[in-house]
Chains A and B, each alone.
Chain A
Amino acid sequence: MKDKLMKIIDKIIVGFKKSFLDIKANLTNESKNVTRKRKFKTITLVTVRLVLLIGLSFVILFPTIQQILMALRAPEDVNNPAVIWIPENWSIMNLRLAAIVLDYRNALVNTFKVSAIAMFLQLASTALAGYAFSRLRFRGSNIIFLFVIITIVVPPQALSLSQYLYFRDLGLIGRESSIYLMSGLGMGIRSGIFIYIFRSFFKGLPKELEESAQIDGAGVFRTFRSVMLPNARGALVTVGLFAFVWQWNDAYFVNIFEVSTADFPLLTMRLINAAENVYAALFYTGGLSLIGQDVWENPVFLALISNVAALLMMLPLLIMYLFVQKQFVESIERTGIVG
């Protein structure tokens, strides 16, 4: 009996010893250590990345989510203390009212049109200028580039008075073409910075690309269009995105040149006008008839409507960006020069 017990204990001890040695051998095994180390590194990296990105995304999204949930409350529930996050009575009434205030359908179409046209004009004028400053240099081009930097630095307010008088003489005040003229001549919203971006991207492209195109018999324009431009796709997408978004959000030039009118509403101006006096905006657009007096006398409700209108203005941009971001593809293949 005792013998048997001892034997079992021995067996257990031997088993332990064996597994201990196994573990020891495993831990001292070089190649396994390397894989373990690598695994550990990746896991830490992934965890740190996950925590950081989730945390920052939360910080960014929190106010927006709050706004969306607020927007979906029934107007009667605005001050309801029982409703904190999830609306008790879901309703798109707030959205409908905000859309009425903004004249949403017309304003959206107009804003889209103006932003898209201005974007293409800006892309054309700034890409050409950026290319000339980086690749087609001549004596004095650096001095001319200094003027680009001056256009970046000088604030638009400093120029607006004379620009207004100038455009008034041309009869362009109150017309969208004033915006197009500015964009097409490389003086649109932050065009200087766009020229700068294009210049530094074209500068980064290897000289061999240009030389091989030249040897193949391409002229200067052909080299630009067929070789350099496709290689600067990252810059094109980035600049196009900024140009579009900034034109969409622009309230300054649109205001000075009085582009937004009753016949040609733009989102930003409608939004600013509505935010200044939500009640009047609701009154003139007939939104008041959709809700009760107890609701529209509530100042918090009126503020909420202007919030929802802001949400409506930026929502299309977000949705569009989700599609565009695929264009930020992995690095562009540089066929021909890879040895």
Chain B
Amino acid sequence: MTATENAGTPPTDDAPVPDPNAVQITVNGVAHTARKGQLVIEAAADAGVYIPRFCYHERMTPVGKCRMCLVEADSGRGPAVTVSCMVPVMPDMKVETESPMAKRMQEGVLELLLANHPLDCPVCDKGGECPLQDQTMTHGPGESRFVEEKRHYEKPIPISDLVFLDRERCILCDRCTRFADEVAGDALIHFISRGNTTQVMTFPDEPFASYFSGNTVQICPVGALTAKPYRFKARPWDLEEIESTCTTCAVGCRTVVQSSRDELLRSQGVDSDPVNWGWMCDKGRFGFEAVRTERVTEPLVRTAHGLEPTGWNAALRSAVQLIEDGKLAAGPSAVAVIGGARGSNEDAFAWARLAHDVIDTPHVYAQMGDGLPVGMLAMPRATIDDTAAASTIVLLGPDLKEELPVLYLRVRDAVQKRRVRIVEFTPRESGLTSLAWKSAVYEPGGQVEAVRAALADPEIADQLAAGPVVVIAGRSNLAESSGATVQAVQTLLAGVPGATVLPAFRRGNVVGALQVGMRPRPGGLDTRGILQAAADGKIECLVLVGADPLADFPDTDLARRALAGARRIVSVDTHLSASAQHADVVLPAAAFGEKSGTTTNLEGRVTTLGRKVTAAGTSRPDWMIATAIARGLGTDLGFRSVDDVTDAIARMVDGYEGVTRDALADSADGVLSAPPATIAAIDPVEVEVPVRNSYDYRLVVTRKLYDAGVTVSNSPSLAHLAPGQRVHLHPLDVERVGVQPGADVRVSSSRSAAVMRVEADPTVLRGTAWIAFNQPGGNVGDLIDSTAIVTDVRIENL
């Protein structure tokens, strides 16, 4: 029986169905329909009325700490002082935000907040974009009656390597401390000495070393928290900004890039609901420093005296000559192209066209041997939102906190707020292990068995059968071939019909590059195959497009032999990387913030990149370089502007039909692309894992957020945060080796031997050894044999 029948009126087809979630309220006398359970502050915002606030943040639990949002509300028992960020709407509630009583309260709160707040706005970094300053102007009393001496603290004090705290300016809104505890899960700052001297503080000698510390600076409603890279660099009114997408990793956080006097000065997170919710990791936030550090600013050509600067015409002629000579020597398939994952979709597409259509080589690949086969993209794909809405998330990939930090925040939120359960398979404890419902730590190569055991466990099987399952799949260990992980994913998908996959590919635009064509044609080699062929002397010309195999390919020895074995090397790069130093021609490429275009994140979401500053020196976007080389080789790709390339992608790439410039302009959250049908699914994989000799340790090599890569090592604020290379063993294994933690040991594999410090680490499985990849001064890549299923090492007392 419907409500209409109940009321005795005859049912009509067009009678509106009453919305059970609608709540009728009035805001400042104007009727408004709010949602059930909605907070008054949000409902008022929907009705177009801004209620001033400091502590309230839409992505965090309301705490009612600052009292700035006091309004007068009458829910039937007469007007009452109401904290609008804590009270949900009630039927027929009358909210007054501008009544004399409301104004008196707001002015009173502001006067009290300002009693101890220094009036140093002219020298404060926040001045000009400060909520306290702005709301004092809009809602404040205008004059203070406070004539006494204000409170004084030592200022500013560093609470981490990146963040400074000025306690005099702090209004104790609980935003940073709430963020640290609730969002980041690093409750390293807290209110100390609560009472008259409450202050935000860390524990002595335990700094706020969170990967997400920069967010607290962004959400601080006053100038209490400032970030080292931006302190005293600019005034907000001098900044120009453009919306863009962070390409540090494949999550694709929306960001606004700000510059002054043609220099990148700051990145701020933008709240994109399907992706980053306004958060960023510190590497993405502060990594822009690399854009202005140690760049290649002009083309370089190898002469008898080494790499010498030259003009673009000469350099392009040399590059074209090298490619043509390579083709002449041994045919088009003697030319190979590696890279493209660091740039835009346009860069990758132009290079794919050049490689496939102009040079006509099948050997093209955007991955660096540290991911999973491109066929992973053909699996039924989940979005980040699907993942957060699943009932079970299966982790079969890297430590998200280290490699895809903001995805870690989204998964963490899903577990904490939505009670999503995590079933984790990992070679060592990860950032999510403490939140996982079930966590299986396996010895490298053992993931298939671990997945089978989990599927056979009735409790886990029930959970997996209960609702949507999303598998986050990626490369969890660089010292192990991808085979076992692929087989484990296949086993899991066979056992859980309907499960979808979120590919945890790491590098900025790797999914976009693969989808628009930077992948081998039938018969083409992947990166390991290309490097092997180069080492065997079969590659006449190797083109590196923003690729640095010496740093990024897990098997450093093979990379070294490949660069020595390739007859000619052309490098297109922003920085003179270790690999670029081996090139015969280096073409300087424009970096993040210096070029526009689009990028694709790990879920296939295409968003725009913004160009904010002039490219360093004479560097050019990669797509322009590809177009020029194609012209040199006698083919006009037809690209006159970056928009031409974007249009060509929409026209020509399967899965990008909807990704038009109009669609991108209409949608702030970007447009989802689909994997091209030409990406073939991976055939079932069977991996035979060799047995480990009980004297040996199975090697686990993973990335940390801060490493010796181009972004971190060229960002002065981040470079010293890389932890360095150590071998981590279980404490009992350290004892077995017969050394004290902190001593040097010899680590030897079939490839090479290295001496490094040993750490006792209970998060490492017995019989395995964990070493972080590509750390400053590190050489773990020398130990890894990329042809082996797993790498075993011997560890000896010196």
| A and B associate | no
| Residue positions of A touching B, CB distance < 8 A | none
Residues of chain B having any CB pair with chain A under 8 Å: none
